[in-house]
A and B are shown apart, each in its own frame.
Chain A
Amino acid sequence: MVWLRGRSAPTGSDRRQLILPGLSQGPKAATPPAEVALQCARGRLLLGAALLGLGFMAIVFRLVTVTVGQPWGEPASKTSSVEARDWLRADITDRHGFVLATTLPTVSLCADTKQILTVEDTLKGVKGIFPDIDPARLEKDLAKGGRCVMLRRHLTPAQQKQVNNLGLPGLEFLHDARRVYPTGALTAHMTGYTDIDGHGLAGLERGLDKTLTQENAAVVTSIDIRLQQLLHHQLETTMKKFRAIGAAGAVMDIKTGEILALSSLPTFDPHQPGQASAEAKFNRATLGVYELGSVFKLFTVAAALDRGVIKPSQSFDATKPLQVGKYRISDFHPENRWMNVPETLVYSSNIATAQIADRLGAQKLHSSFDALGLLKPATLEIPEIGKPLVPPTPWKNITTMTAAYGHGLAVSPLQILGGLAALSGQGQFVAPTLLHKKRVAAGETVFKPETVQRMRALMRLVVTHGTAKSAEAKGYMVAGKTGTAEKVTAKGYDKNSRIASFAGVFPIHAPRYALFVMFDNPQGTKETYGFATAGWVAAPAAGDIIARAAPVLGLAPLDAEDEAIAEQILFKPIQSLVAGLPKDNTVSPVHKETEIHKETKTQKPQDTHAPVTTASAR
């Protein structure tokens, strides 16, 4: 400190020296004190100037960053208003770029109460253009005052012009934007919707909220809008015909896991989610979990074959209902004979399937179901994912035996698709996705190639010889399994209330697409002789969908000769067993829809061994 030099030996009497340098006037001072003070001031002045300089440098740096962005990186946002920035929400498109959700700039009308002439005139003018507004409420809002009292969101250009023509002062337009779904209700369960300020509330809008707001590129989904349309239409038609309360369906590419179409009916208008019922907004395809019945026999048989517990030719005693403790398992329309594995599936025998599961054992069945993704929630890019209802482990004997044919276990339709892919594709579990992927998804291997070969043949047999005959789409080699399950009500299983479903794969000689359709509580019609089982409801719907979807997917139909050859190749591993099956109408849906589960009348399932499952879980 310079000033100290000018201060010679401070004394008690010269206290001021301690404070200011110029005071030191002692005779011993080498430099005149005024000079010392000046030097001190100069030095410190430079220091102060340097500090100010730093301040100005900070200003310059900040100026550059806020005006033209950070010099080292990202450019500054090009948008000029807060609203527009908040609304920078990317489009959602189908796999071919068809827009499913987009953001349109709009204007909103607000009033500056400091500038409006009178509340009455303003209200009168606005009411003339928007007859549906509530003047009492607006009057209250305007009375409160404010620089921007919102009068109306999202004006059309015509309405904006009308407001301008009013020539009223104090009416101002705000830049706004709204989310528009060109495909509306058709894709509402996938796109979901946003709130009025553009925050994702459901579906992809919610699940991919971050991506949609942070990245500028459109989100390309796996959906093919053409397939979506025909799936939706067919589900709707069948649903009406059988007076079902709901339906769900999905088509998946089993190589990539891409969901090509996914529908849940009834559906809703995503522009006005507030007016839709909870029922309509409920996604049955992904969020609903249902006991799906015989479809599960495919998984049980595959697990048993894969682990070598049974051979296809092995026969099981289905001559009489199976008594397990106090429970009795019976077939819907009993054949009352021994059945081998193909017959078990073709006749959909609960008794035989239960015995197969018994041989396999609880643990192995559980681990196979788990590997097929049937026991844990599916993963998908939307938040509406249902948690399957699974009986607590360890599974008892009876639990294992009923789970084997899809009873006492509720899963979502989405989970079935993942399992079907493992069953018929490469033996690997394929996680479904709603995003368009070029890469083939590699999942965990569940089944050996040999098992997959056998399962393809068995699934095809169900369509050619069994309950799913009407699922056939000529030339497209459909394979699959029907399932009819009684719905669980508060009083136990309701014999007159069903879930009818079909799970299939096509074309089975070169498996590529998995399909699942499901109808909630269909009612029989005169045409179906009062039947509302899957063979009557779900299988024909699936057949119609495949017949129209295949050309869209670029599949060429096989002619009769090629089909015969393909079938021969397919059936080769179980040749001798197929020969024993009568090819004609032996198993007509009317008589042989041998579906689900018969408990003894006195014992309701949820009393003891099965979890309380509701078919349409809310």
Chain B
Amino acid sequence: MNRLARYDQSPLGRWWWTVDRWTLALLTVLIGLGLMLVQASTPAIAAARDLPNYHFIKNQLMVLLPGLLLLLGVSMTSPRSIRIIALFGFLASLLMLIAVIFWGQEVKGATRWLVVPLLGTFQPSEVMKPFFIVTAAWLFARHTRHMGFPALETNIIFAVITALLLLAQPDVGMTMLVMVVWFGQFTLAGLPLILLSLAAVLGAAGVLVAYHIFPHVASRIDRFIDPASGDTYQVDRALEAFSAGGLWGKGPGEGTVKMHLPDAHADFVFAVAGEELGLFWCLVIVAIYVAIIARGLWRLRGEKSLFITLAVGGLLAQFGVQALINMASALHLGPTKGMTLPFISYGGSSLLSMCILFGMLLGLTRKRYDKTEF
């Protein structure tokens, strides 16, 4: 099949031989499993909402195909272009986040969605995440070399604005996720651990404040700590699903938990996986996440560029933490949090965001023979 010979110097050939093909392969498997689970979990929900049977999978594919093109396209560009894309993407996202406040669509008490004519609804905060990470990495790295430009100040201002815009929706979970990744990057960039601890304390205080300001946060945390205090219907059903699935699962499409969980295709898709595919394939999914992260770290081993190290570290952290939080809440290891399972949950914005994330990640981790520093 080797159409692309080693000596092929076309852009495609260069891309193929420099990109991390392992990560590409792992992503392919993950996306395949994700499509299967979305198709398994959504007909019940479609029926409940009076939508055609294939509504959700069609939507997912409609996003996935352009998303994959975007992924490949971004991964072909140079690190230099990637950070410019990121900066403009981030600024555009900020504008959209502001727009959400004024023209957003309210769903279940939170204003997170923009209605885009012809394309349907769109969640700017999802798409903002990878752009913000790369932009922040750039500013953190730039800080070490350019005295003249107030990179750190800019960075902090960006972070504060982002956090405030997210809290305005309100989206406490997303705020926390974005801030955790940003502080992670800050730490990589050399934030003294004492300041990190201070940030952690402030973060904890923030959670306490959120607990008292937002009733839904309080209720979710209460229900996690003391299941008797409220309705733990979703989590109970999710745990039952895992138990019913056992080692090998009931088979794709054979599960019943999706009939009972309104968020089976998004927040609790892992429970559907547990019931229909069983423990073995759940472990495979976890292994794929771990492998993608490990692979990304491996590609960083000889990296001389601080920017790339910070950016890839941040993107991997975003990917890993989001996967962890989703699986933890489905397994009742943490409070329920509306966070998607990367590439597996249904959701266009989330999928698009992950495609951008991995486009940039693959682009940044390509083998470079010019050791230009960025």
Interface residue ranges of A10-53 to B (CB < 8 Å): 16, 18-23, 33-34, 37-38, 40-42, 44-46, 48-49, 52-53
Residue contact A49 to B300, C-beta cutoff 8 Å = no
| B250 (CB) vs chain A CBs: closest residue | A80
A264 to B54, alpha carbons, bound, how many Å? 64
Q: Closest approach, in angstroms, between the C-beta of B195 and any C-beta of chain A? A: 8
Indicate whether A20 sits within 8 Å of B144 (C-beta atoms), given known contacts A37-B306, A52-B324, A63-B286: yes
User: Which of B242, B247, B283, B286 has the most chain A CB within a 10 Å cutoff?
Assistant: B242
Indicate whether A41 sits within 8 Å of B309 (C-beta atoms), given known contacts A34-B145, A53-B290: yes
B5 contacts the other chain (CB 8 A): no
Interface residue ranges of B136-169 to A (CB < 8 Å): 140, 143-145, 147, 152
Band of interface residues on B = 35 or more
Q: Closest approach, in angstroms, between the C-beta of B322 and any C-beta of chain A? A: 11
Residue contact A81 to B240, C-beta cutoff 8 Å = yes
Residue contact B283 to A60, C-beta cutoff 8 Å = yes
| A7 (CB) vs chain B CBs: closest residue | B190
Question: Within the complex, which residue of B140, B144, B184, B328 is in contact with A48, where a contact is CB–CB below 8 Å?
Answer: B184
Interface residue ranges of B271-286 to A (CB < 8 Å): 274, 278-279, 282-283, 286
Q: Closest approach, in angstroms, between the C-beta of A240 and any C-beta of chain B? A: 51
Q: Which residues of the other chain, B, contact A22 by a CB distance below 8 angstroms?
A: 143-145, 189-190, 306
Indicate whether A59 sits within 8 Å of B247 (C-beta atoms), given known contacts A41-B306, A66-B331: no
A338 contacts the other chain (CB 8 A): no
A324 contacts the other chain (CB 8 A): no
Residue contact B239 to A66, C-beta cutoff 8 Å = yes
Q: Closest approach, in angstroms, between the C-beta of A560 and any C-beta of chain B? A: 69
Q: Which residues of the other chain, A, contact B294 by a CB distance below 8 angstroms?
A: 49
Q: Closest approach, in angstroms, between the C-beta of B234 and any C-beta of chain A? A: 12
Residue contact A52 to B321, C-beta cutoff 8 Å = yes
A3 to B294, alpha carbons, bound, how many Å? 25
Please classify the interface of chain B as helix (H, G, I), strand (E, B), loop, or mixed, using the class held by over half of its residues.
helix
Q: Which residues of the other chain, A, contact B304 by a CB distance below 8 angstroms?
A: 38
Q: Which residues of the other chain, B, contact A442 by a CB distance below 8 angstroms?
A: none
Indicate whether A19 sits within 8 Å of B48 (C-beta atoms), given known contacts A41-B190, A59-B324, A59-B331: no
Question: Within the complex, which residue of A18, A52, A55 is in contact with B192, where a contact is CB–CB below 8 Å?
Answer: A18
Residue contact B286 to A48, C-beta cutoff 8 Å = no
Q: Which residues of the other chain, A, contact B144 by a CB distance below 8 angstroms?
A: 20-23, 33-34, 37
Please classify the interface of chain A as helix (H, G, I), strand (E, B), loop, or mixed, using the class held by over half of its residues.
helix
A577 to B134, alpha carbons, bound, how many Å? 113
| A40 (CB) vs chain B CBs: closest residue | B190
A83 to B188, alpha carbons, bound, how many Å? 50
Q: Which residues of the other chain, B, contact A49 by a CB distance below 8 angstroms?
A: 293-294, 297
Residue contact B188 to A48, C-beta cutoff 8 Å = yes
Q: Which residues of the other chain, B, contact A46 by a CB distance below 8 angstroms?
A: 297
Total chain A interface residues with beta-carbon distance under 8 A: 41
Q: Which residues of the other chain, A, contact B256 by a CB distance below 8 angstroms?
A: 80
Residue contact B283 to A20, C-beta cutoff 8 Å = no
Q: Which residues of the other chain, A, contact B147 by a CB distance below 8 angstroms?
A: 23
Residue contact A56 to B297, C-beta cutoff 8 Å = no
Chain B window 275-317, contacts with chain A (Cβ cutoff 8 Å), 1 for yes, 0 for no: 0001100110010011001100100100010100110010001
Interface residue ranges of B170-185 to A (CB < 8 Å): 184
| A76 (CB) vs chain B CBs: closest residue | B243
Question: Within the complex, which residue of B247, B300, B317, B324 is in contact with A67, where a contact is CB–CB below 8 Å?
Answer: B247
User: Which of A42, A49, A52, A55 has the most chain B CB within a 10 Å cutoff?
Assistant: A52
| A22 (CB) vs chain B CBs: closest residue | B144
A62 contacts the other chain (CB 8 A): yes
Q: Which residues of the other chain, B, contact A77 by a CB distance below 8 angstroms?
A: 243
Residue contact A55 to B306, C-beta cutoff 8 Å = no
B218 contacts the other chain (CB 8 A): no
Residue contact B293 to A45, C-beta cutoff 8 Å = no
B81 contacts the other chain (CB 8 A): no
A residues whose Cβ falls under 8 Å from a Cβ of B:
1, 3, 16, 18-23, 33-34, 37-38, 40-42, 44-46, 48-49, 52-53, 55-56, 58-60, 62-64, 66-68, 76-77, 80-82, 114-115
Q: List 7 A-B contacts (CB under 8 A).
A: A19-B190, A33-B144, A34-B144, A40-B188, A55-B320, A67-B274, A82-B240
- Beyond contacts A19-B152, A34-B306, A45-B300: 20 other A-B pairs, Cβ-Cβ < 8 A, are A20-B140, A22-B190, A34-B144, A37-B190, A38-B309, A41-B188, A41-B306, A42-B300, A45-B297, A48-B313, A49-B294, A52-B317, A59-B328, A62-B333, A66-B239, A66-B243, A67-B245, A68-B246, A77-B243, A82-B240
